[in-house]
Amino acid sequence: MDLDETDREILRILQADARTPFSEIARRIDMSSATVHDRVGRMEEAGVIEGYHAQIDPRSVGLGTSAFVGLRIEQGRENDALDRLREIEAVQEIHLTTGEWDVLLRLTVEDTDGLREAMFEEISRIEGFSRSQTMVILATDLDDRALPI
């Protein structure tokens, strides 16, 4: 889908606050609410807008420990390993990467006991897993920056 500057402005507004009413978006960009509704609908259908969600503070729901985990997976076993990783509740993100690690994960758990359990009881038992490096996140300086649209 080709995006014009109006589409990009709508996306910037929605990135800042996805709950912004179409009437408010329309007012800001000097357009009718119906036109904004149509444009947003087209961007949703085209997959430009992938969804809407509430951003929840993990600590407020008892999930105080996060870590990045680099994994090495044996060649030919990547698809099965990815299927198993998707089933692990603690896994929040899965990225296929170049370099030293085949896969980079972000895990969120209650505490270091939860991290140990995820690593030793779940991840290390995946067929094709050969080694890992775990980096506990001590603090986050920047998270969920809006895309530079």
DSSP 63-80: --EEEEEEEEE-TT-HHH
Q: Are 37 and 69 within one domain?
A: no
Instruction: Provide the whole-model pTM.
Output: 0.85
What is the reported pLDDT for 143?
A: 82
> Would residue 51 count as lying in a domain?
no
- Measured CA to CA, the distance from residue 107 to residue 136 in angstroms comes to 9
pLDDT at res. 144: 77
- What confidence tens digit (pLDDT) does each residue in 84-143 have? 999 999 999 999 999 999 999 999 999 999 999 999 999 999 999 999 999 999 999 988
Q: Which domain holds residue 111?
A: 58-136
One domain, residues 72 and 12? no
- Residues of the chain with pLDDT > 70: what percent? 100
The pLDDT of residue 23 is: 97
Q: What percent of the chain has pLDDT over 90?
A: 93
* Residue 71 belongs to some domain of the structure: yes
Taking residue 96's Cβ as centre, other Cβ atoms within 10 Å add up to 11
* Number of folded domains that form the chain: 2
- Residue 73 pLDDT grade (very low, low, confident, very high; cuts 50, 70, 90): very high
DSSP assignment of the chain equals ----HHHHHHHHHHHH-TT--HHHHHHHHT--HHHHHHHHHHHHHTTSS--------GGGGT--EEEEEEEEE-TT-HHHHHHHHHT-TTEEEEEE-SSS-SEEEEEEESSHHHHHHIIIIIGGGSTTEEEEEEEE----S--SPPP--
